[in-house]
Amino acid sequence: MARRAVPGPGPRLPAERSSFVGRRTELGRLRGLLGGARLVTLVGPGGVGKTRLALRVADELSRSYPDGVAFADLTAVADPALVAAQVAAALDVRDSTGRWLPASLAEVLGARRVLLVLDNCEHLRDACAVLVDALTGTCPGLTVLATSRVPLDVPGEALCAVPPLAGTDGVALLEQRARAAVPDLVLTPADDAALDELCRRLDGIPLALELAAVRLRALTPAQLLDRLDDRFALLRRTGAAGPERHRTLRSTMAWSADLLGERERLLWRRAAVFAAGFDLTAAEAVCADDALPAGDVLDALTRLVEASLLAVDRTAGGTTFRMLETVRAFGRELLDASAEADAVRLRHRDWVAARVAGAAAEFLGPAQVAAFDRLAAVHPELATALEHCLRTPGEASAGLALAADAWLYWEARGHLGEGRRWLDLLLAAAPADAPGRGRALVVAGYLALAATDPETAVPLLEQGRQAAADDPGVVATATQYLGQAALFRGDLPTADRLLRAAATASDARGDPAAPFCWADVGVVALLAGDLVAADAAFGTSLGAAADPWTRSHALWGCGLVRLAQGAPAEAARLEQEALRLMREVDDRSGVALCVSALGWAAAADGDADRAARLCGAAAAVWRSIPAPLPAPLAEPDRRWTGVARRALGEQRWAARHAEGSALNRPAAVALALGEFPEPGPAPAVAASGPLTPRQREVAGLVAQGLTDRQIAARLVISPRTAESHVEQILTRLGFRSRAEIAAWAVTRG
């Protein structure tokens, strides 16, 4: 029986930037709740430390979730319709098939044991509740740990209230953060009473304590307490409403703002327009003007960092700045109350539009992947800018151009549903004579086609072609995708006519889209059985293509032509070259196509064992998308898998196929590219490995997809002993997940 591929875990948990203080009681309670409930929600006011607590317990319990821990931060998500997309990104699932995204998530997760940390749910509570209820109802191995200011109200939800830090824990946090801000700070027993009172006056709220701690650079604890008392008394006299803890945090925020200079206050409220992290260049473009010159922005950013109002993230790509959600929310209140909110949001929109236009200019060139990466880095800002265009009178046309400029990014990085939604909303909101409306209609049609929805795509493409009749580039693009739609419905003559017309027109204009169009012509000829025409079209595409995505598809097609011509070794070489490019672009359907083709080439070359493993690996990759092998390729799949089956016999075929099927996507690609050796005789390889015989046995069962409890039953040991064996295997091999154990075990027979 074939085993399911293990989905790779999502992004690693964010690293802790400072020490974790206290919370022993809450950690113990959370461990108990997570042992018995599928949904646990940490509830409490803003700034109380829900996220830090969730991350700490998720890290401590990560070994209990062998298929991964994923972190989905909803802070930058304003639209409830995008919650599922954010969770999909955390679980490394692409919105690339046009299916209802929660259904794709459920299919990929299956029975895998995964912990999903869903952070900052309160502003999207209903959408979160619907998604969590759907996933936990269909995925028995999924556990969700949510943070929210209010319960999600999902059946079976267990609540864990997060209180402020009490007593000595609050004082310890204040002292640690103060010493981090002032390394040579000296606190004496004489300061104890003031520190205790500071914690009491700040209600033990960690964020308030951290903001206050940085003031000990210039003030003694007693002086800080006096100034804090004065500020809070003033705010309370103004009649601030709300729960006491909420008033305390707002008072701390307002007090922090009062202690800043005018330029720092300006930057705080202006930078709050960013949905996520931003760098110095972005801050200068969006936040600078005559009142805050660009040359002063760096100094103002530094002072906000020193005041703990900005966090700094340093990566190989550079330095970015980030606001905590509570700090950003207060900054946006300040922005909304100012007279400059519209101007700041317009500058943000223009900055995003420039980033998208710059990337789009490289979509069909050699820097394609870097262009996609740059847009992925500002994706939350793209959504914020489009929301502004949709909600602001007179801005829908600008939003239409912005969404259309991102055309290839929406598909390449798995945001088909989001791209289609923005275009639908903006097409409805923009005037009928909006500039670029025809192009936007064609992009909407292209995305519908990419989502395998030709019934929606064709009318949009035809409308766009008509609306942009005076723009030859848009007309050629619409014609190309109408040809693809004909290919999807099996009308090969119409597809050939439209695609050749589009390719010829694009060639005449020097359009960089022409090579991909010629690759589509090659696909039509290949399916029609005209190998000469297919070879010519794929060759034309390959000779002219500048971007890796187009080159990968042309190489894939050339490989299939060589396979059909009886040259399996050459076919395999071409398919491997295509696969390397597919991996670079992260075209997951393309990866599956290449792994499938390499399996067929192995069968044609007489290597039935490798063919069976690769066919299993291809099936695993298709499941991970999730999507089926395209129907037009069913015939060669049946032909070549049949050759390998007959050569091996059903029992051996099933065993080899299961070995490939146990791999996750990276391991499947590595197998297909020969980046680790094919399995050899099990005893000889096992004898030289770093594991004990029992650990090798457990690794083999992990490769079969068994849980710790199932392994325990198979080996007649306790579940805790089985878990211990798995932990030791992970340690000895230097791995982080069961998927890596499975890949290691498969490659060693």
197-236 confidence digits (pLDDT tens):
878 777 777 877 877 787 777 778 888 777 766 655 444 4
Query: Angle of helix 341-360 relative to helix 280-287, nearest 10 degrees?
Result: 130
Least confident span in 250-264, 409-423, 441-455, 593-607:
250-264
pLDDT at 574 over 80: yes
Integer Cα distance of 478 and 375 in angstroms: 24
**Which of the four pLDDT bands, split at 50, 70 and 90, describes residue 748?**
low
Share of the chain above pLDDT 70, in %: 92
For residue 4, what pLDDT is reported? Answer: 35
Q: Is 546 exposed, middle or buried (0-12, 13-18, 19+ CB in 10 A)?
A: middle
Residue that wins the pLDDT comparison between 75 and 346:
346
For residue 239, what pLDDT is reported? Answer: 46
**Which of the four pLDDT bands, split at 50, 70 and 90, describes residue 444?**
very high
pLDDT tens, 464-494? 999 999 999 999 999 999 999 999 888 999 9
Place of tokens 């419905």: 489
**Which of the four pLDDT bands, split at 50, 70 and 90, describes residue 679?**
low
Residues in CB range of 616: below 8 A, 6 or more apart: 2, 656, 657, 658, 659, 660, 661, 662, 663
pLDDT at 584 over 60: yes
Count each helix (H run) and each strand (E run) in the chain, helices first. 38, 7
Residue that wins the pLDDT comparison between 9 and 122:
122
For residue 682, what pLDDT is reported? Answer: 34
- pLDDT, the chain, mean: 86
CB 364 within 8 A of CB 380: no
**Which of the four pLDDT bands, split at 50, 70 and 90, describes residue 12?**
low
pLDDT at 175 over 90: no
Average pLDDT over residues 523-550: 95
CB 584 within 8 A of CB 369: yes
Average pLDDT over residues 319-332: 85
pLDDT tens, 77-92? 888 989 999 999 888 8
For residue 685, what pLDDT is reported? Answer: 32
Average pLDDT over residues 700-713: 77
CB 665 within 8 A of CB 579: no
For residue 3, what pLDDT is reported? Answer: 32
pLDDT tens, 551-564? 999 999 999 999 99
Integer Cα distance of 117 and 91 in angstroms: 11
pLDDT at 10 over 70: no
For residue 604, what pLDDT is reported? Answer: 95
Average pLDDT over residues 651-661: 90
pLDDT tens, 105-116? 988 888 888 999
Q: Which amino acid is at 12?
A: R
For residue 247, what pLDDT is reported? Answer: 56
DSSP secondary-structure letter at 107?
H
Residues in CB range of 734: below 8 A, 6 or more apart: none
**Which of the four pLDDT bands, split at 50, 70 and 90, describes residue 20?**
confident
pLDDT at 371 over 90: yes
Element (H, E) at 354: helix 341-360
Element (H, E) at 589: helix 588-604
pLDDT at 684 over 50: no
Average pLDDT over residues 655-668: 88
Integer Cα distance of 612 and 131 in angstroms: 37
